[in-house]
Amino acid sequence: MASYQFISKQPEETKDFAKRLAGLLQAGDVIALEGDLGAGKTTFTKGLAEGLGITRNVNSPTFTIIKEYQGRLPLYHMDVYRVEDAFEDLGFEEYFEGNGVTVVEWAHLIEAQLPEELLLLQLYLDENGARRIVAEPKGNRYEELCKEIF
């Protein structure tokens, strides 16, 4: 399957990318984010939230795994870094199949619970401080999305 990528030289570029994507999202879309600490997963999510018309500040709460925000579509922001049991059922499925858009930071930690079709975004820290964002669409819907935004 094709993969798509771009280099983001600053936080605003990551946010702008997310904002463009946000404009194309629909209910039930799922975005899985991978990347080391500080790679820009939450920065991306902030941009996505802005693009969905959400005015509340999005952050990565230390002990809250799922946060919900209201915009053009609801945004379900999950950070599963602290999920210790990959199979623990915290009701993820209801969000994936819900009326909003779900973003999951550290998605591989709940891999078995993820939907088959999603947009996987890998964020890499380059040596010069830039971020490389690599998209791997799983399923036609996400393939089409990638063709539009890259």
Both tokens assigned to 78? 């999950």
Options 3, 10, 26, 70; binder of ligand ATP; rule CB under 6 A: 10
Q: Does 61 bind ligand ATP (CB under 6 A)?
A: no
Quick one: CA torsion of 24, 73, 135, 132, rounded to 10 degrees? Answer: 100
Binding mask 120-149 for ligand ATP (x = CB under 6 A): ----------xx------------------
Q: Does 40 bind ligand ATP (CB under 6 A)?
A: yes
Smallest separation, CB 109 to ligand ATP (Å): 12
Nearer to ligand ATP, 130 or 134 (CB): 130
Q: Which does 11 bind (CB under 5 to 8 A by kind): ligand ATP, Mg ion, none?
A: ligand ATP
Smallest separation, CB 20 to ligand ATP (Å): 15
Cα–Cα distance between 23 and 51 in angstroms, integer? 6
The CB density around residue 124, as the number of other CB atoms within 10 Å, is 16
Residue pair 37/47 in contact by the 8 Å Cβ criterion = no
Residue pair 92/75 in contact by the 8 Å Cβ criterion = no
Q: Does 71 bind ligand ATP (CB under 6 A)?
A: no
Q: Does 21 bind ligand ATP (CB under 6 A)?
A: no
Mention every residue, 6+ apart, whose C-beta is less than 8 A from residue 73. 25, 26, 27, 52, 99, 100, 101
Interface ranges with ligand ATP (CB under 6 A): 8-11, 13-14, 35, 37-43, 60, 105, 130-131
